[in-house]
Amino acid sequence: MTDPNAALTEIFGFDHFRPGQQEAVEGALSGRDVLLVMPTGAGKSLCYQLPALLRDDLSIVVSPLVSLMLDQVESLERRVGGKVALINAQQDAATNREVLERAQRGELRLLYVAPERFASPGFLEALKAVKIGCFVVDEAHCVSQWGHDFRPDYFRLGDAARWLGADSIFASTATATPQVARDIAERLGLNEPVSVATGFDRPNLTFAVAPSKSASHARSQLAAALATPEARPAIVYAGTRKQTAEVASNLASDLGIKVVAYHAGLDREKRAKIQRSFMDGSVDVVVATNAFGMGVDKANVRTVVHVSVPQSIEAWYQEAGRAGRDGAPARALLLAQNKDKGLHVFFIERAEVDEAELDRVAKRIFSSSPDGRYDAEISELGSNPDQVRSIIGHLARAGVLSPSPAPTDRQIGRIDGAYDGRARSLCQTSAKQATKARWAAYRSVWHFVETPSCRRAAVLTHFGDRDRDAAPLLVPCCDVCNPESIADVVSVEVRATKKGASSSGRSLAPRAALADSSELDEAIVNLVASAHPQVGRTRAVEVLRGGRSKVIAANHYDELENYGAFGDLHAADVLGRVDALLAEGRIVSSGGRFPKLQSPAGQGARR
């Protein structure tokens, strides 16, 4: 069989291609590089699976998630048994060896591989003997330092593809701004690729954001959102493993339905059982971290709820897009609390790189690589894993090293150049650009949360979608256009607890006292420039509100010009302005383990 239209029907059971699919399929069949940006649920995987099954060579699919590989391999096995396999660390060595032998005998058309396998010289040598057609990089935004899920071990996948002699590279992602798409093409070395971007609009989805006053209020809102059978099946995304268990228990108690918690800390068998239960309908609601969903192709999910604000629009939209894959109306609901802002700032500061830490990590890498290659546990390189990964990325961009795919707790790669003054300067520039990108993501996601305008338009504008003015299938399409669309959520009262009902939570709308924040902003900027020793975010708030701790007195912060000038404001209000000024670049963070606030270069205190 060589006709893609016939294969579409006979193998996949569809009578026509969706928008963008045929162009991507034909590009892959012709041996061209392809850059595919297609929203979740629009059929990305078919775009590389179909041409791979029609070719007479082997296509490799690199995917960061085992659950995604398992799901796709099992699905394809039912259609084309014997032509598809996977290799990963969860299989025993004998099974992986047998799969490689099948590939060498020419029995396979699709081989799914985790990225860390490409760090193994033996694995690469074994594949070198196989004729490689298309080298697919799924979740390709991971290769971009400006993407929302950057992984340094994706850096060398383009090199690996060329070393293996692959005819072409196929990069696929659901969420890439124009900047990220350009970076993907550059990082993978795509050669005049066929670029397919079908647009980011999901016209059957209603987008909604509901302010939550407290955790108990969010609990009530979540129960209200999923109370009716029509709102289920549903996926609820929580920020931490601990939170998944708490939310699942509360929701099961509130609604009297079966709810399960899912996260990467569960053993493989337990995770697989939960996925099967959700797919077959015996469980209607899963509360999960972002580990869930990538390998679960359930078309009839009616609701996706985030109980906290993700750190980027890209991360939120990828997960929200798991609702309504069947094309029927569905809802993506985001419950937002102001405390989420502080958490975002904490993680931004945690990833920032100070010069001393940059030098320490570089020194440790060079000391562990006498033969020009390094292999070290992340914990040996630094105490902050996020910061270590950031530094590896900066060193790679500066041409100092080339990371290889590696297990999540290790860093593996080769040394390409000296860590000299020039390299150090390039790393510092890269670090500043990365910080700028994180603050840009912060501003974008909170603009989306707080916008008084159509949320669908805000999303499409963010992704540079040229069809953002097209009429949505659902009119109105969001809670801004139609507040009644979330009446079930915003009308609920704060849940009564053993301590009594709490109504002291704050909405996301600014307080009247802060209608004009210019005076407070000026005071914050001046405090940051004047305070010696430097202060962190919460200490700055304490000074401005007139705190009386021993630290305040010992460092003479109570003698500063604006000490106690804003004692009538809530601490959260003042902290919100500190974070806003950080996002705007009017003040900056030192980064590191104990970040301090600083004035931008060249600025000082008002005298």
Q: Is the same domain home to 151 and 235?
A: no
User: What pTM was computed for the model?
Assistant: 0.74
Edge-first strand listing for the sheet containing 194-197: 84-87, 110-113, 58-62, 132-137, 168-173, 34-37, 194-197
Q: Taking 60 as the threshold, does the pLDDT of residue 178 lie above it?
A: yes
Q: Taking 50 as the threshold, does the pLDDT of residue 499 lie above it?
A: no
Residue where a domain stops, chosen among 377, 405, 439: 439
CATH of residue 562's domain is 1.10.10.10
Residue where a domain stops, chosen among 197, 228, 261: 197
Q: Taking 80 as the threshold, does the pLDDT of residue 193 lie above it?
A: yes
Q: Residue 98 domain-assigned?
A: yes
What residues make up the domain containing 560? 512-598
Q: Is the same domain home to 176 and 54?
A: yes
- Contact by Cβ (8 Å): 76, 110: yes
Stretch among 11-25, 355-369, 400-414 having the lowest mean pLDDT: 400-414
Alpha-carbon Rg of the chain, whole angstroms?
26
The more confidently predicted of residues 67 and 505 is 67
Residue where a domain stops, chosen among 148, 175, 197: 197
Q: Is the same domain home to 145 and 97?
A: yes
Q: Residue 497 domain-assigned?
A: no
**How large is the average pLDDT for residues 510-525?**
71
Q: Residue 509: pLDDT band by 50, 70, 90 thresholds?
A: very low
Q: What 3-state DSSP class applies to 50?
A: helix
The three-state (H, E, C) secondary structure of 257-304, written as one string: CCEEEECCCCCHHHHHHHHHHHHHCCCCEEEECCCCCCCCCCCCCCEE
Q: Residue 416 domain-assigned?
A: yes
How many distinct structural domains can be found in the chain?
Answer: 4
pLDDT tens string 537-561? 989 999 999 888 889 988 999 889 8
Q: Taking 90 as the threshold, does the pLDDT of residue 282 lie above it?
A: yes
Q: Residue 449 domain-assigned?
A: no
**How large is the average pLDDT for residues 285-295?**
78
pLDDT tens string 195-233? 998 878 888 999 999 999 888 999 999 999 999 999 999
Q: Taking 90 as the threshold, does the pLDDT of residue 31 lie above it?
A: yes
Q: Is the same domain home to 414 and 327?
A: no
CATH of residue 401's domain is 1.10.10
**How large is the average pLDDT for residues 376-384?**
90
Q: Is the same domain home to 302 and 358?
A: no
Q: Is the same domain home to 359 and 265?
A: no
Backbone angles phi, psi at 332, to 5 degrees: -115, 110
Q: Rounded to whole angstroms, how far apart are CA atoms 206 and 476?
A: 8
Q: Is the same domain home to 226 and 372?
A: no
Q: Residue 329 domain-assigned?
A: yes
Edge-first strand listing for the sheet containing 410-415: 373-377, 410-415, 401-404
Q: Residue 501 domain-assigned?
A: no
**How large is the average pLDDT for residues 462-467?**
77
**Residue type present at position 331:** R
Q: What 3-state DSSP class applies to 155?
A: coil
Whole-number pLDDT of residue 145: 64
Q: Is the same domain home to 335 and 359?
A: no
Q: Is the same domain home to 54 and 125?
A: yes
**Average pLDDT over all residues of the chain:** 86
How far is CA 385 from each of CA 20, 27, 65, 175, 433, rounded to the nearest angstrom? 39, 39, 20, 25, 19
Q: Is the same domain home to 486 and 526?
A: no
Stretch among 26-30, 214-218, 519-523, 564-568 having the lowest mean pLDDT: 564-568
Q: Taking 70 as the threshold, does the pLDDT of residue 312 lie above it?
A: yes
Q: Residue 445 domain-assigned?
A: no
Q: Is the same domain home to 265 and 331?
A: yes
Q: Is the same domain home to 485 and 521?
A: no
Whole-number pLDDT of residue 405: 66
Whole-number pLDDT of residue 101: 95
Q: Residue 450 domain-assigned?
A: no
CATH of residue 264's domain is 3.40.50.300
Angle at 389 between CA 383 and CA 390, to 5 degrees: 105
